[in-house]
């Protein structure tokens, strides 16, 4: 039986309107999230990954806003709701955040209030969405801390964020995200600021929670190694669009887009000779207000085909189980 689609995003465009001009942070992003599976979204910093995640939850900071596309959520009640049509501050959207979709932020210290205990902050979310009284909410908070592996949860519940290590803060952030039993968890660079051992523990925790609860996870990262370890499906994002997407095993074994190949070449391997310089991707991410015309990757591409790549945006081409945006695979106007 086919996996159930929980979230389907088509043609998502999120732009920021500044005095210097319009910044197209997300510019036609397509992806699907399936029940019980992990979608990895990978790309360099500045490609629009976090903005896409915030667009799904309707928490894009001004002067940004979703200007086009569909964000189709298949709710627990069986309805299909286009989140792009909801006002971000509406009661309908607030009812989605938490019970349907939750977000684990990249940096917990910037997300927690330092003036309230972690227990109070989890309890606030529980009471808001689940209607529990203060006593029941505290019990729920302790249960959640225990579930994500926080030691001595009945004591830690009364501690402040600054009293916890980075790994424990991230576990508490995951506990808060799971407090209302969401079906989709968005993890935005959840291990970036952590050491290697703690990173492995957090990834193991996410896998364990997914297996127990049937969570669908959107994992946002710049680390192809994390993608290989955690994801079932992957979307490689460059300047607001998915340039290649499909099953992770196939993408890693036979990458089709030049950007995907360049990302994979930059991963260190145990087979490499010692003290060998890793390959790098030529150039750098362009300024948001100065995106190149045509294929946005063409100034950095080692396989650029000439004028067509410099003047025309390539369409998505189906290659077996994958979608690729590159004229190397057809779609030439």
pLDDT above 80: residue 2: no
Nearest by Cα to 187 from 195, 12, 199, 72? 199
Omega before 149 cis (within 30°)? no
pLDDT above 50: residue 1: no
pLDDT above 50: residue 166: yes
Confidence at residue 327, expressed as pLDDT on a 0 to 100 scale = 93
Residue with tokens 């607001």: 240
Which residues are CB-neighbours of 255 under 8 A, at least 6 positions away? 244, 261, 264
Give residue limits of the domains in the chain: 36-60+87-100+183-269+293-333, 110-181
Name the CATH superfamily, with its identifier, for domain 36-60+87-100+183-269+293-333. P-loop containing nucleotide triphosphate hydrolases (3.40.50.300)
Residue with tokens 């995951």: 174
What is the Cβ-side half-sphere exposure of residue 281, based on CA atoms within 13 angstroms?
20
**Cβ count within 10 A of residue 223:** 17
Q: How confident is the model at residue 112 (pLDDT cuts 50, 70, 90)?
A: confident
Q: What is the pLDDT of residues 291-321, one digit of tens each?
A: 889 999 999 998 998 899 999 999 999 988 9
Residue with tokens 């360099």: 44
| DSSP single-letter state for residue 261 | H
Q: What is the pLDDT of residues 169-202, one digit of tens each?
A: 989 999 999 988 899 999 998 887 778 888 899 8
Task: Region of 207 please: left (phi>0), alpha (psi -120 to 50) or beta.
Answer: alpha
Confidence at residue 285, expressed as pLDDT on a 0 to 100 scale = 87
Q: What is the pLDDT of residues 31-77, one digit of tens each?
A: 999 999 999 999 998 899 999 999 999 999 999 999 999 999 998 88
pLDDT above 90: residue 10: yes
């Amino acid at each position: 039986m086919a996996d159930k689609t929980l979230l389907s995003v088509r043609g998502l465009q999120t732009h920021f309107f500044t005095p210097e001009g319009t910044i197209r942070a997300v510019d036609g992003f397509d992806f699907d999230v399936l029940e019980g599976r992990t979608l990895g979204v990978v790309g360099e910093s500045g490609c629009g990954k976090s903005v896409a995640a915030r667009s799904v939850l309707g928490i894009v900071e001004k002067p940004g806003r979703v200007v086009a596309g569909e964000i189709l959520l298949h709710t627990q009640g069986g309805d299909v709701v286009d989140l792009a049509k909801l006002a971000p501050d509406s009661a309908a959207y607030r009812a989605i955040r938490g019970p349907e979709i939750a977000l684990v932020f990249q940096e917990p210290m910037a997300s927690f209030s330092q003036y309230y205990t972690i227990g109070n902050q989890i309890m606030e979310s529980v009471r808001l969405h689940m209607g529990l009284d203060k006593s029941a909410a505290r019990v729920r908070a302790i249960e959640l801390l225990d579930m994500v592996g926080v030691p001595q949860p009945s004591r830690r519940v009364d501690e402040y964020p600054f009293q916890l290590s980075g790994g424990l803060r991230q576990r508490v952030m995951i506990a808060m995200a799971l407090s209302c039993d969401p079906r989709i968890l968005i993890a935005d660079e959840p291990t970036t600021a952590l050491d290697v051992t703690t990173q492995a523990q957090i990834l193991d925790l996410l896998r364990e929670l997914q297996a127990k609860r049937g969570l669908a996870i959107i994992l946002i990262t710049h680390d192809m190694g994390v993608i290989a370890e955690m994801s079932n499906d992957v979307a490689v994002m460059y300047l607001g669009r998915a340039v290649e997407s499909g099953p992770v095993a196939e993408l890693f074994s036979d990458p089709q887009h030049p950007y995907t190949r360049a990302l994979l070449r930059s991963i260190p391997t145990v087979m490499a000779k010692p003290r060998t310089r890793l390959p790098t991707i030529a150039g750098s991410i362009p300024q948001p207000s100065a995106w190149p015309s045509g294929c946005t990757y063409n100034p950095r591409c080692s396989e650029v085909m000439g004028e067509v790549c410099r003047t025309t945006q390539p369409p998505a081409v189906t290659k077996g189980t994958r979608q690729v945006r590159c004229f190397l695979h057809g779609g030439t106007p």
